[in-house]
Structure 1
C-alpha cells in the first residue's frame, strides 16, 4: 500500500469516474480504514453490489434511495447507514448529492 493519508483539506484529492457513471475521490486512508466521497447527479445509480469490507455511509447532500439486503429506505442529507460485510447494497440519487463512505479495511481497488 502507498503511504497512508491521515489529513485532508477541502478541494484535495482527484475525482475519478466510477464504472456506473458517478464520481469518487479518496479522502483519507490507512490499512484499517478508508474515507471516500462519492458524487451523484440526479438519477445516478450506485449499482447493486457486495464486498467483504464493512461500509458506513453519511449523506452529505441530497436524497437517496438506499437498498441493503433487499430492504429499501429513502434517506436525506444528515442521515447515515451501515452495510455489514458481503451484503448486497446500492443507491439511487433522487436528487444530486454526495455520500461520504468509510470502509474497513481500506479498499485497495480504489488506490
Structure 2
C-alpha cells in the first residue's frame, strides 16, 4: 500500500462542481474502492443515471428522496442505501445535506 492514501481528515480535498449543480470531493481511492462526499443545497437533484460500479451510500446530513430502479424512499441522516451495478438511480435533497458514497471499482471519471 506504499503511496496509497489510507486516511482522510475532515475538510480535506477540493470540492468539484457536478454537472447537475451539486458538489463532490473524492475522499479516498484505490483501484478497487473509492469514497466520495457529495453536498447538496435544498432542492438539489442528483439526476437519474446508471453506471457499472456498485454504489453504497450513507446519508451524513439532511434528508433525501432516493429513487433506485423506479422505487423511491425518503431517507434521513444516518440512513443508507446500496445501488447494484447498472440500476437507474438518483436523489433529491429535501433539505441541504451530504451523502458519502463508496464505489467499487473506483470511478475513474471522478479523477480527471
Q: Common fold, TM-score beyond 0.5?
A: yes
Match of 1:26 in 2: 26
Q: What is the CA distance between 1:15 and its match in structure 2?
A: 0.3
Q: What is the CA distance between 1:10 and its match in structure 2?
A: 1.2
**1:45-96: CA deviations, max 9, x gaps?**
0000000000000000000000000000000000000000000000000000
Which sections of structure 1, spanning at least 5 residues, go unmatched? none
Q: Root-mean-square deviation (CA), in Å?
A: 0.7
Flag as ranges the 4+ runs of structure 1 deviating above 2 A.
none
**Counterparts of 1:99 and 1:65, CA distance in 2:** 12
Which sections of structure 2, spanning at least 5 residues, go unmatched? none
Please give the TM-score of this superposition, normalised by the length of structure 2.
0.95
Please give the TM-score of this superposition, normalised by the length of structure 1.
0.96
Query: Which SS does the other structure have where 1:99 is aligned?
Result: strand
> May I ask how many residue pairs the two structures share in their alignment?
109
Match of 2:88 in 1: 88
**Counterparts of 1:4 and 1:36, CA distance in 2:** 16
